[in-house]
A and B are shown apart, each in its own frame.
Chain A
Amino acid sequence: MEEVPQGCPGTGSAQAGRGASCQGCPNQRLCASGAGAAPDPAIEEIKEKMKTVKHKILVLSGKGGVGKSTFSAHLAHGLAEDENTQVALLDIDICGPSIPKIMGLEGEQFVEDNLGVMSVGFLLSSPDDAVIWRGPKKNGMIKQFLRDVDWGELDYLIVDTPPGTSDEHLSAVQYLSAARLDGAVIITTPQEVSLQDVRKEINFCHKVKVPIIGVVENMSVFVCPKCKKESQIFPPTTGGAEVMCQDLKIPLLGKVPLDPHIGKSCDKGQSFLTDAPASAAALAYRSIIQRIQEFCGHHQPKEEHLVGS
């Protein structure tokens, strides 16, 4: 349901359907019967669906504009460069679905034979269409993406999220809870204002018991194309991600310099890794991707033996 009464005690709480603010709510009888407290059957259905998916990675950021979708797209590109690796990228940024553009897709869902993409962006008929949905409707879409898309045999499912710690993140974690997420990669820029939100993101992961693969520091340093001198456009006033990761004992997967060509490649829907393979940024990306693969390799599922590696 979309309109929840103020003071709703929560559909899973002991007061569900019984509180004073429940009077007049259309779901009152349902909640009072205890139906709200039962686990969503979709969780088991998704667990079944995810049996053919070896590794599931969540890409998070505290703030917007730190390069999370850019990173997700290039993580997908990098992993899919091995044609024997099946990769899918799921974009659950329902209101700002930029993955189709970054991947150069206008409705087709396969970038390569071994790299598929799903996004609400494909369901919109015009680039001006706005998805003005409240939480519950976004959650429903995410459930559909996970349960009803035929993912097939995948080595990696990468889930790109909007910034923050809200409905989309809770839903993704909840619906994938039985399917075992490998972990989360958190993207940041070097300055304290961004790191402050990353710490919240880390606390979110601890709260919902999602392992943290590590942190990526984006837009680390800028090299002037003319004089080749370095500048820090987003100054690491408190030591950047490096100090934060040391303090919190979380891996720093790598630092990516600010390269204007990255944005250009994304705007053209091309992989920066193939456009500028020898650039410092591409090398940084590749090293980070390798570390993520190593993390996933060390955390093979014990209970299922998956065929075809």
Chain B
Amino acid sequence: MLRAQGRAVHQCDSGWVPVFVDQEQSISLMSVGFLLESPDEAVVWRGPKKNALIKQFVSDVAWGQLDYLVVDTPPGTSDEHMAAVEALRPYGPLGALVVTTPQAVSVGDVRRELTFCRKTGLQVVGIVENMSGFVCPHCTECTNVFSRGGGAELARLTGVPFLGSVPLDPELTRSLEEGRDFIRDFPQSPAFPALSSIAQKVLSEAPARLS
């Protein structure tokens, strides 16, 4: 998605060098995707092997000076999530951004994710409701394709901050996929104001919440 497919990961004295995705070198990336010979290769690993790689990603990558390390996880509350929390905890502060879509079926799973956070002592920075509405490009009618309101309702029920809703934007998807400069195209997207506002909240509130 960040136009880094096919890039190689190099070694230096302090470990693997993460891949920079922008010219200013403000965003670096590490992924198992860089270690595969082909993008179609399936990673058919059981838990212990995944745990070992995640630990390596934290301790053996030369991240350098970072303001934020953002960790994207698969759905669920299993090996990857436990491994990430265990590997990152010594390097605090650590918090969770929990993403849901608006419908009840999704919220039903995300409630369990919040329990995971509570049980592992992971502070929840807030909930984001994604895919929240689609504005028809032909007539500008907004349709709640995946229902509505679940994220805000969940935040209210669980006493966790609601950070905002992000609408669907096919042009953003297209930009990510066609290898266009998403960082340059992104400000034009209707998703941009929502994501910007969420980012601002994380930037301003996270340090206080996670101290």
Residues of A participating in the B interface, judged by any CB pair closer than 8 Å: 4, 6-8, 64-65, 69-70, 93-96, 98, 101-102, 127-136, 138, 162-167, 169-170, 191-193, 196, 199-204, 207-208, 222, 224-227, 229, 231-235, 237-238, 258, 260, 263-264, 266-267
Contact of A170 among B46, B55, B103 (CB under 8 A): B46
Question: Per-position contact with A for B55-76: 1 when CB-CB < 8 Å, else 0?
Answer: 1000000000000000000111
Which residues in window 160-190 of B have CB below 8 A to A? Answer: 168, 170, 173-174, 176-178
Residues in B with CB closer than 8 Å to A165 are 42-44
In the assembled complex, the Cα of A222 lies from the Cα of B170 at a distance in Å of: 11
Are A64 and B41 CB-contacts (below 8 A) given A224-B136, A267-B104? no
With a 10 A CB-CB cut-off, give which of A164, A196, A202, A207 has the most chain B CB atoms.
Answer: A164
In the assembled complex, the Cα of A123 lies from the Cα of B120 at a distance in Å of: 22
| Interface pairs (23), CB distance under 8 Å | A8-B48, A64-B74, A94-B78, A95-B75, A95-B76, A95-B78, A102-B105, A130-B77, A130-B119, A131-B77, A132-B78, A135-B78, A167-B79, A200-B43, A203-B41, A203-B42, A225-B141, A225-B143, A229-B136, A229-B139, A231-B170, A237-B178, A260-B147
With a 10 A CB-CB cut-off, give which of B41, B76, B116 has the most chain A CB atoms.
Answer: B76
Residues in A with CB closer than 8 Å to B176 are 193
The answer on a CB contact under 8 Å between B145 and A258 is yes
Are A162 and B108 CB-contacts (below 8 A) given A233-B170, A263-B146, A263-B147? no
The answer on a CB contact under 8 Å between A191 and B177 is yes
Residues in B with CB closer than 8 Å to A258 are 145
Residues in B with CB closer than 8 Å to A65 are 75, 101, 106
Which residues in window 74-133 of B have CB below 8 A to A? Answer: 74-79, 81-82, 101, 103-106, 108-109, 111-116, 119-120
Residues in B with CB closer than 8 Å to A238 are 177
Name the residue on A nearest B178 (C-beta): A237
Residues in A with CB closer than 8 Å to B41 are 200, 203
With a 10 A CB-CB cut-off, give which of B46, B115, B138, B139 has the most chain A CB atoms.
Answer: B46
Contacts A69-B105, A193-B176 given; 10 further ones with Cβ under 8 A?
A: A127-B112, A130-B77, A138-B78, A166-B50, A192-B177, A200-B43, A224-B143, A232-B170, A264-B147, A267-B147
CB of B122, distance to nearest CB on chain A (Å) = 11
Residues in A with CB closer than 8 Å to B13 are none
With a 10 A CB-CB cut-off, give which of B43, B106, B111, B173 has the most chain A CB atoms.
Answer: B173
The answer on a CB contact under 8 Å between B174 and A237 is yes
The answer on a CB contact under 8 Å between B75 and A163 is yes
Are A199 and B40 CB-contacts (below 8 A) given A130-B113, A224-B136, A231-B138? yes
The answer on a CB contact under 8 Å between B105 and A260 is no
The answer on a CB contact under 8 Å between B119 and A132 is yes
6 smallest beta-carbon distances between A and B, as pairs: A135-B47, A95-B76, A130-B115, A227-B139, A267-B104, A4-B48
Are A135 and B46 CB-contacts (below 8 A) given A260-B146, A263-B105? yes
Are A234 and B170 CB-contacts (below 8 A) given A165-B44, A193-B176, A263-B103? yes
Name the residue on B nearest A225 (C-beta): B143
Name the residue on A nearest B117 (C-beta): A130
Q: Is B159 positioned at the interface, with any CB of A under 8 Å from its CB? A: no
Residues in A with CB closer than 8 Å to B139 are 224, 226-227, 229
Residues in B with CB closer than 8 Å to A233 are 134, 145, 168, 170, 173
* Count of A-B contacts judged by CB separation below 8 Å: 177
CB of A174, distance to nearest CB on chain B (Å) = 11
CB of A20, distance to nearest CB on chain B (Å) = 15
Residues in A with CB closer than 8 Å to B47 are 4, 134-136, 166-167
With a 10 A CB-CB cut-off, give which of A8, A101, A260 has the most chain B CB atoms.
Answer: A260
With a 10 A CB-CB cut-off, give which of B103, B104, B139, B178 has the most chain A CB atoms.
Answer: B104
Residues in B with CB closer than 8 Å to A263 are 103, 105, 145-147
With a 10 A CB-CB cut-off, give which of B79, B113, B120 has the most chain A CB atoms.
Answer: B79
Name the residue on B nearest A199 (C-beta): B40
Which residues in window 1-16 of B have CB below 8 A to A? Answer: 1
The answer on a CB contact under 8 Å between B111 and A127 is yes
Are A64 and B79 CB-contacts (below 8 A) given A166-B44, A233-B170? no
Name the residue on A nearest B102 (C-beta): A263
Residues in B with CB closer than 8 Å to A136 are 47
The answer on a CB contact under 8 Å between A204 and B42 is yes
The answer on a CB contact under 8 Å between A237 and B177 is yes
Q: Is B210 positioned at the interface, with any CB of A under 8 Å from its CB? A: no
In the assembled complex, the Cα of A202 lies from the Cα of B38 at a distance in Å of: 14
Contact of B138 among A128, A229, A260 (CB under 8 A): A229
Contact of B79 among A93, A135, A264 (CB under 8 A): A135
Residues in A with CB closer than 8 Å to B116 are 130, 132
